[in-house]
Amino acid sequence: MSLTGKIGGIGIVRPYGDTTGDGRVQLSLTLPVPFGDESERARAESAALQLAAKMGMDPAMVVHAKGMGPDFTFFIVYGRVSHVVDLSAVTVAMREFPVLSAAEANLRIRSALGRKLVVVGACIGTDAHTVGIDAILNVKGHAGEKGLEYYREIRVVNMGSQVGIDDLVARAAAEHADAVLVSQVVTQRDAHLTNTLQMAAAFHAEFGRKRPLLVVGGPRFDLSAAHDLGVDKIFGRGTTPSEVASYLVHALAPPGGSGGMESPRKEVGAA
């Protein structure tokens, strides 16, 4: 279970634009209205301002408008809102495990499992964006850190992009995977949520209570939605390989584990 902590500093704050506390915000949006001749442009900008007013921006002004094809217009609207944020009521999810060095992670895996920890990774569905999964898995890594392939006690199987869910389940079974890592960058029409739900259901059906640990990552996930999506952990934007490795060790190779353990696969519903 994730810990929560309050943001340091207590008080009421407003957005900052030109001067402190002036409530100024900038909003970008697209409306399905054409940006053609003069009358169409005037109507498009009026529509954007009407929407901004309904969102509580008063006064508001269109500072940029550009047609996107024959039927859409992109806007940037600048204005003032009256809403405030109470910092004393803001909570954030805190990492529930320490970030380990590669040497520390390798030692924990070797001591607890007595074998290599097996990780299968992929981009599922129609998602062809492998930058995220490669940054975590490939030895070249990300943000100055080596990826999981660098860890001596982790065996990585990177299936790449546009992997079918059935293929992922079959490969995880064939490799006796301890953990499955899935990256989802394509989010149109909430494809990342649909794919994750389908993936989790397939693993639950195939493995029952002895399924691999399921980890998903991507820029549009709600980090608190793991339980609702049927997975064990969600990572968001800016995640580094050491964070993922440390979580895997935390979940699958706890301190004091004895070598030669059977598969530490997650039991569904276990704490």
Q: Which residue has the tokens 């520390």?
A: 104
| Alpha carbon 27 to chain centroid, angstroms | 23
**Number of residues that this document lists for the chain:** 271
140 is catalytic: yes
Alpha-carbon Rg for the chain in angstroms = 23
The single residue of 140, 146, 210, 266 carrying the catalytic annotation is 140
| Alpha carbon 237 to chain centroid, angstroms | 6
Coil vs helix vs strand at 75: strand
DSSP symbols for 210-238: GBPEEEEE-TT--TT-HHHHT-SEEE-TT
Per the rule left: phi > 0, alpha: psi between -120 and 50, beta: everything else, 103 is alpha
Q: Which helix (H) or strand (E) holds 28?
A: strand 24-31
Report the catalytic residues: 140
